[in-house]
Structure 1
Amino acid sequence: MTGGVMITTARLSLRRPGGADVGLIYALHTDPLACAHNPGDLLATRAEAVGRYRAWDAHWRRYGFGYWSVLRDGAAVGFCGVKVVPWDSGEALNLFYRFDPAVWGGGLASEAATAVVGWVAAGVSGRPVVARVRPDNVASARVAVRAGLRRARWLDRYGEDGLDWIFTSG
């Protein structure tokens, strides 16, 4: 795995985020609608968006993968990817997807998440993929299922914003 990993689908290109993506990180993470189910992800300042980008970049440098910028027709519309997180007595890959609300409902999150989970299955072994979904976030649960994850009620836990339903690949 290298920092240059790209994923393409029928409609999307997923590439490693760069400094130019700080604007979209800021826009999505200051949008109450985009973060409605995870208000703990909201940012207050552009400096916080720079910090978020730096954390994502550090993950890429350490592991050779992370959260990708998702582009449709050359324009960034969101982010999707996985990051290593502590999980029970080991580690898991947390599946993340956040898109501009203007593109919601078109299947882009499902398409990107399916591609990411497929990429993990083809080359990143030893860690299950998990998606933490707030119980009232029906759309996010659908994305997790469409990406190939299964509901794992016995793994549900409380996170920063309350109860998280867990979906997993393993």
Structure 2
Amino acid sequence: MLRQPVRMLTARLSLRQPALADAVAVLDILSDPSVVQHNPSDLVTELEDVEALVTQWLRHWERHGFGNCCVFEEETGRLVGSCGLRWMTIKEDRVLNLMYRFHPSAWGQGYATEAAAALLHWAQESLPAEPVVARIRPTNLASQRVATKIGLRRDPAFDDHGEDGLDWAFTHRS
């Protein structure tokens, strides 16, 4: 089993495996309608629902040795978002789904780009043959900018319909 480092450091961030104790801060992020504007089915308003979500994240870590991370400002220790990789199937292909969600107070600071780049680098080093796919709604321009800044490109071969509509795929495949 591959093992993502327990804690990854970037210039300004610390990414680590989530803990149930993080659920309150994750709830603060995922209960904000602006955070899930492009994925409204991901809105979570109850602590028990976030605890169940964090438990799912932890199960992925247990099975695969990597997964969704909680992202903290290194300077303040404040949980500002989540960013991670998880296995999923798109059109019968097994891929690594790269996702990122951040609190609005952290938007515009490059945190999503910094965290996503660190995880993409880890995936390219640890699982070089596996496609990494960021699934992004066509109207989510901010998320598309993050994907392209870290070197992902539109890959219509992986476009698919998600729970909230069409997902465009951005990958590192040539």
TM-score interval, normalised by the smaller of the two chains: over 0.9
Residue by residue over 1:50-70, the C-alpha shift from the partner in whole angstroms, topping out at 9 and shown as x without a partner, is 100000000000000001111
8 Å contact from structure 2 (residues 90, 158) kept in 1 = no
Using the alignment, how far apart are the partners of 1:126 and 1:59 within structure 2?
20
8 Å contact from structure 1 (residues 3, 61) kept in 2 = no
How far does residue 3 in structure 1 lie from its aligned partner after superposition?
A: 6.4
- 1:79 alignment partner, one of 56, 75, 82: 82
Amino acid aligned to 1:86: T
- 1:91 alignment partner, one of 82, 94, 103: 94
Aligned to 2:64: 63
- The count of corresponding residues between Structure 1 and Structure 2 is 170
- Higher mean alpha-carbon deviation, 96-105 vs 66-75, is at 66-75
Q: So what's the TM-score if we normalise by structure 2? A: 0.92
| Paired residues for 1:1-170 under 5 Å | 1-2=2-3, 4-72=5-73, 73=75, 74-170=77-173
Q: So what's the TM-score if we normalise by structure 1? A: 0.95
Q: Indicate the RMSD between aligned Cα atoms, in angstroms.
A: 1.3
- Higher mean alpha-carbon deviation, 27-36 vs 3-12, is at 3-12
How far does residue 4 in structure 1 lie from its aligned partner after superposition?
A: 4.8
Residue by residue over 1:55-100, the C-alpha shift from the partner in whole angstroms, topping out at 9 and shown as x without a partner, is 0000000000001111112211100110000122231011010000
Using the alignment, how far apart are the partners of 2:15 and 2:30 within structure 1?
19
The residue matched to 1:33 in structure 2 has which SS?
coil
8 Å contact from structure 1 (residues 117, 148) kept in 2 = no
The residue matched to 1:127 in structure 2 has which SS?
coil
Residue by residue over 1:1-38, the C-alpha shift from the partner in whole angstroms, topping out at 9 and shown as x without a partner, is 33653211111111111122101221111110111111
Amino acid aligned to 1:67: N
Using the alignment, how far apart are the partners of 1:159 and 1:119 within structure 2?
26
The residue matched to 2:129 in structure 1 has which SS?
coil
Provide closer, same or farther for how the CA distance between residues 165 and 124 of structure 1 changes in structure 2, counting only shifts above 3 A: same
How far does residue 44 in structure 1 lie from its aligned partner after superposition?
A: 3.0
Amino acid aligned to 1:64: G
Using the alignment, how far apart are the partners of 2:4 and 2:13 within structure 1?
19
